[in-house]
Chains A and B, each alone.
Chain A
Amino acid sequence: MSNSHIFLKSGFIRTPSQNGVGRYVCQLQRVVLKFCKNNGSSRGMREFVESELINFAKNNPGVVVYLKPRRHRAPVISAEFLNGDKQWVSCHNYSKQDISKWLNLLRTQSGNTTGFRLRKLQHTDHPSIQGPWTPYTFKDPAENLAEYPNTELSKPKIQLKTATDELLEIFNSVQISDKKGVE
């Protein structure tokens, strides 16, 4: 089905300012984990905070991690990126593995991509190495210097045997056989 009913902005995949081609800069600026200390929907979040959060913080020194225990509120990850984008991920009843995967996604994203429809999942700035085909790729450059009108170049592309030629052939072959017969 067409994607017109989705009403999302669409475009091709891009790497903003060629991040990663030279130096890679993590685009995630800060991450706020809000959870309830008591409610069951925050259980995965609490487990994540107890076990895996410190590793995440150690491995990503460039990302600021805030913890906000908020009573009677749903668990949420709020992320802010270097280009000013904000993303809000609800973690209601997520397991700690789910939360860890989401955090990994936020860490490797280049910004908030939720409202963006990718037309293709590949992109290249250099689709051709040998140079794309042009009508002149396999043409002799001497044609650039040709002077017109030019009898050679103006001949028809396909020249089959004409009727005159065929008759001449037949005549010549008959003549030869006549001569042989005479001899």
Chain B
Amino acid sequence: MAPLKSLEPDYPIIDSNFQQFCASHHIFSVEDFLLHDIYALELSTKQHFDSKRLEEGISVVRTIMEGLHQPWLNGMELLQKAQGNKHGISTGYERIDVLLEGGLFQGNLVELVGPSSSGKTQLCLKVAANVAVNNLGSVTFFDTGNSFSPKRIDKLLDQSSEPAKIKTEEVRRRVMDKIVCQSVFDIYVLFDLLHQLKSTLKPVTGSSVQMLIVDSISSLVTPILGSGAHGHALMVSLGFLLKELAYEHNLSVLVTNHMVGAEGGHLKPALGESWKNVPDMRLHVSRDCKSNICSMSILRHPYITAGKAVMFSLK
């Protein structure tokens, strides 16, 4: 929040008199108002000669604050909102759709975690190809490791359910135009892009979905994590920004994370304990050595038991 003096042009009641009164109570910005006891402040205005104006000023600041918080929702409204998103986005792998009881849903942040070369990027590409070819909507792909491969998307389109439909170049072009890829190598650039997305997203019409895939988010966060608290704060605010995009703008967000060594020689997901609770769903992917069979298990899900696993094969 800005210091009080910058509110003066829009709200003339917050004049220098009011600001001086607030300053005498150590209040310099709207945030300080939130921390102060408003009743005590109102009582202290009675002792001033100008008490009516000061009280008006306080109520104006109160209305500013009330305009800034999220609206309260009751359980029925939440249920209606959830039921509106009944249809899951198919991932392209039948067994995974069965495991996730429908596939990926809008409004959720899903994290794919797994060791190197376990199939995370392939899954992301397959989901993107699926959304594009079945005309479910559009996909925005943020790629941090130059692993987005249009050639692979082309091959995956051939493997889709109705390859005859997309034989002509014109149709294929329209399908592939639905996937937009942007290379990101810096967390600050990612923040800018996400804010751009927030302001330019038009509200979804009908059943069209918007997918956002970030592959991989851990390579952007690892360079800043550990050097003081700021890196940590950035990581958590990135997580919240993605959740906000998912929930408020009805996107389906998919991110990938890698694994690091833990005690006892096991592997654990990177980015630490604070990131653990940020995604709504965490899925662990692993691949048997030198084969195309992968296995996916649920690490965290709002309503499906953790530990359920399924095998699928990458073609």
Is A bound to B?
Answer: no
Q: Which residues of A contact B (CB under 8 A)?
A: none
